[in-house]
Amino acid sequence: MAVKQQNNTHQKLLLFGAAAAVRLLLFTVFPALPDLLAGRVEVSTPVTSFKRLQEGVFLYTHNVSPYDGGVYHQAPLLLPLFSLFPSPAQAPLATNIFYTIVDLLSANALAQVAESGFASVTRLFASPRKDLKWSSTAIAAGFLFNPFTVLTCIARSTSALTNLFILTAMAKASQGASFTFILSTAFASYFSMHPILLFPPLMVLLYDAKTLKSKTAPNVTSFITTHTLGFAGAIGALLTGSALLMDSWDFLSATYGVRLLLPDLTPNVGLWWYFFIEMFDSFREFFLGVFWLHAASYMPGLTIRLHKQPLFVACCLTGVFAIFTPYPSIADAALYLSLVPMFRHLFPLMRYTFLASASILYTSFLGPAFYHLWIYAGSGNANFFYAITLVWSLGLSIILGDSLYAALRDELDVERPELQALAPTHFQTLNIHHIYKINMAGNKEVSFSPREMEVLALAWQCMETQPKIDMHKLASLTGYTVGSAGVTFGKIKTKIKLLGESLSTDGPTTPKKAGGPGRSKATSTPTSTPKKRGPPTSSSTPAKRARKGARQPTSSPSEDVSAADDDGDDDEDFGGLVDKKVKIKKEEPGFEEGSGFLENGSGSASYGFLDGIENFGGGVGGGRNAATGYRKSVA
């Protein structure tokens, strides 16, 4: 164990050294790259731009309010921090090292979250695929060498600081450290406001970690009250310190008011800017409320429904931030895409990974091209860039929705393990070319050969009476409800019936005797006794030949109708039923009729579709017409 831990430490040191070297090399070899990326709308937004931060620092150091002029929209405490660094235009090394360290600390926090194991095992839930996971070093490498993370670092966006505090809050919550969790969440919310929505699910994660750590569950009411008051106190302290630094509370409208009211409509990779450019002023307040309500509504629903997996809820909320906040950037997507690999056990259940990956790659290359066509080449318009941002949001939404489906399916596999056998990935349809094996007691196997399956399907068609199934007993043995057991068994018998019919149709038929006795056609005129069969006469022979010709398959619709009408000859087999007028009642088959499951009132079940061809064609009261498939009502 000690050797393995030492190897992991060496791997992390090599990883962090390589990541730092890549960043410092890019800063040094391409000195103009940071300013270029700082001006890209995909990387920098009005509330995270390093250029705007430099403008605010310049005004702050010259005793002018940085919020005058409407350029600087970031937190006040960033001003004294960055005023300590030398001018990036003259000596950028200190700033470059600072952002490199921020990325390394973020990767270390992400590795701690992965090592906690809360991605697959929590206090109330353990995934059946919990052994399917990547190492913490691999997950940290995915974050450090993610192109979006590297570009954010080179552009020196303040989103890197927000991501650092979000990951630190997750790490401390998974370790059960209350004070540092509250402090990290407060700083993340102070810088960007929307991380405040992460507090409830991360508090649930903190509660689980404390319970597992101390083996006793804390009092829920006191736990929630204490941490909520602590979080509110930390936020209040940060805001009060900012007011003392600025000598006023005007920074609230210039920072958080800009995020809430969206006065700056600079293009970005989000969905808000173009919509509100086209919006009439009279509807602006209404749709601002709708958009914010939509973005915030995911938190309570996900936290309640997936309370057993609080870390996954926090991960999903970072994806929501990357799509539905007013000023998203690739830094938000980098954070979300770096958290997703922690849930490696969900990947086998995800269905649209290729589509989502293709969408992200597609927009990553075409987004800058469309923006260039719009702004610089002048051969496009705003629709070009907004269309590609829609595809970008679509790709992230596919990943988010697909992972949510996988998480819910993972919980369902634990709650209903018997459903795993019916999963599409494990289900085999009825096929006579397969050999079916049933595991019996004592590790003995009973195999069904293809020929035996054929005989079984054909024998089912030869049963003189229908088998009575005790659905209550079947439900108890299978773990289903009585209704579910009936529907499931009805589908199985339907497949056996269809297989038997196909075999009997394709197989050799018994030749009919030439000149055999015929049957006279039934009429609607009531008679006291049915007509007796007799030898064929010259007058009946053409009619019989016509009926035989009508039963042969043809492509003519009129001939198909005549073939259906001639099925009325079989009515003689039912005695007095032919004496009554029969009319077709036009009603659609119900759910139970479609499944073949019919209650007979005695606690057992009968399946009408196996009553034979005659009963299907004209059984008393509850039969169906062979030509139309609808039930008959007897006049």
Using a pLDDT cut of 90, give the percent of the chain over it: 59
The tokens of 199 are what?
């507090």
What pairs with residue 633 in β-bridges? 583
- Whether the CB-CB separation of 162 and 318 falls below 8 Å is answered with no
pLDDT in tens, 342-368: 999 999 999 999 999 999 999 999 999
* Length, in residues, of the chain: 635
Within 8 A by CB and 6+ apart from 463, the residues are: 610
Within 8 A by CB and 6+ apart from 185, the residues are: 165, 169, 195, 196, 198, 199, 202, 231, 234
- Whether the CB-CB separation of 341 and 134 falls below 8 Å is answered with yes
Q: Quickly count: other Cβ atoms within 10 Å of residue 499's Cβ.
A: 20
State the residue for tokens 């139970």. Answer: 592
The tokens of 62 are what?
């010259």
Backbone angles phi, psi at 446, to 5 degrees: -110, 120
What is the pTM for the complete model shown? 0.69
Q: DSSP string spanning 342-400?
A: GGGGGGGG-S-HHHHHHHHHHHHHHHHHHHHIIIII-SS-HHHHHHHHHHHHHHHHHHH
Which burial class, exposed, middle or buried, applies to 520 when counting CB atoms under 10 A from its CB (0-12, 13-18, 19+)?
Answer: middle
Which burial class, exposed, middle or buried, applies to 526 when counting CB atoms under 10 A from its CB (0-12, 13-18, 19+)?
Answer: exposed
Residue type for position 309: Q
pLDDT in the model for residue 459: 79
Give average pLDDT by consecutive 10-residue segment, the chain, 635 residues. 77 94 96 93 95 94 90 94 92 94 97 94 93 94 96 96 97 95 97 96 96 90 96 97 93 94 93 93 94 96 96 97 96 96 95 94 94 89 92 96 96 83 43 41 57 76 79 82 82 78 61 44 41 44 44 43 41 40 42 41 43 40 43 42
How far lies 339's CA from each of 39, 167, 332, 473, 605, in Å? 27, 9, 11, 47, 51
Q: Which residue, 96, 78, 107, 29, is CA-closest to 191?
A: 78
- Give the C-alpha separation, 302 to 309, whole Å: 10
Give the end-to-end CA distance of the chain in Å, rounded to a whole number.
85
pLDDT in the model for residue 107: 97
pLDDT in the model for residue 474: 84
pLDDT in the model for residue 576: 41
pLDDT in tens, 245-284: 999 998 999 999 999 999 999 999 999 999 999 989 899 9
